[in-house]
A = this chain, B = another copy of it.
Amino acid sequence: MQNLSKMDILKSYLETKGLKSTSQRDYIADTFFKTNTHISLDELLKKVKRKTPNIGYATVYRTMKLLTECGLAIARQFGDGQTRYENLPDDGHHDHIICIKCSKICEFQNQKIEQLQAEAAKKLGFTVVNHKLELYGYCSECS
């Protein structure tokens, strides 16, 4: 399952779950796969409706739920009350830093932090499954 495209991964996930392929689902997924932002359901719905205006909110909602389940999308909550989705990154896990004035979101990776997290968890007897690290502040243009 290394070199399959995202759409192929989705298709095989649907198959294992006994789910069906539909034009709406495909188009929503494809539209999402082409984004490189942290997109909300409303934003994605708007994008999708440009070509297929009759598509419903519920279908976008269910498709993103599906993509999250199979790992192709990651659901994020940055505190503005809206769940946002991003594509599974090629280069592995990353964390976020968010500007509290203009809402700009930057991403960063820090292996040392990840390692220290694991150590802290181990010390408390926990087995970490996932984590959330978000820094909030002012970006260079807003400070």
Chain A interface residues (CB < 8 Å from chain B): 77, 79, 97, 99-100, 106, 108, 110, 112-113, 116-117, 120-121, 123-140, 143
- A136 B125 Cβ-Cβ under 8 A: no
- 15 further interface pairs, Cβ-Cβ under 8 Å (given A77-B77, A113-B116, A126-B143): A100-B129, A106-B124, A106-B126, A108-B120, A110-B116, A113-B113, A113-B120, A116-B116, A117-B135, A120-B135, A121-B135, A126-B137, A128-B135, A130-B137, A132-B134
**Complex Cα–Cα for A30 and B136 (A):** 30
**Complex Cα–Cα for A129 and B133 (A):** 14
* Chain B residue, CB-CB nearest to A141: B125
